[in-house]
Structure 1
Amino acid sequence: MEREQLRQRINELSAKHKAEGLTAEEEVERQALREEFLANFREAFRSQVEMMQLFDKAGNEVTPDKVKDIQRKKGLRDD
């Protein structure tokens, strides 16, 4: 499901839950949508962290070694 559609459906179910309650099927759907949303968020966040490079004020790279190793394994770094 597309991110925006996913968010809208989660919000719909949340509003219905507050207004009148959810059926058992809707509870299951809401939980599955939340898990999908969190998985997408974690994947995007991990990608951002793996792509980052940090520099100090003097212009020296201070990217953590763990991130550098991940970048090397993915072919994003050649040093």
Structure 2
Amino acid sequence: MFDQKKLDRINELAKKNKEGGLTEAELQERDVLRKEYLENFRAHFRSRLDSVKVVSPEEYDQYMKENKDKN
């Protein structure tokens, strides 16, 4: 899980890099955090895509008709 604290740290390092550069240790920390962030992003994005169902216009119309009757 990627928490807000880690995201804040990535942003801190990005700001510091723009202002004057990072030490070797900070560069390594940034790379590790970025890699972890991207892995987390990809996993969540993939799970969202897996739950998407593509339907034809006819299927959509039928779905809407069925749900309209329920309400």
- Provide the TM-score with structure 2 as the length reference: 0.76
Measure, in 2, the Cα distance between the counterparts of 1:2 and 1:45.
14
Match of 1:22 in 2: 22
Identity %: 40
Give ranges in structure 1 of 5+ residues lacking alignment.
Answer: 61-79
* Greater Cα radius of gyration, structure 1 or 2: 2
Give ranges in structure 2 of 5+ residues lacking alignment.
Answer: 61-71
* Aligned partner of residue 27 in structure 2, secondary structure: helix
Structure 1 position 23, deviation (Å): 0.6
TM superposition outliers: structure 1 runs of 4+ over 3 Å: none
Code of the residue aligned with 2:35 in structure 1: it is E
Higher helix residue share: 2
Code of the residue aligned with 2:14 in structure 1: it is S
RMSD: 1.5
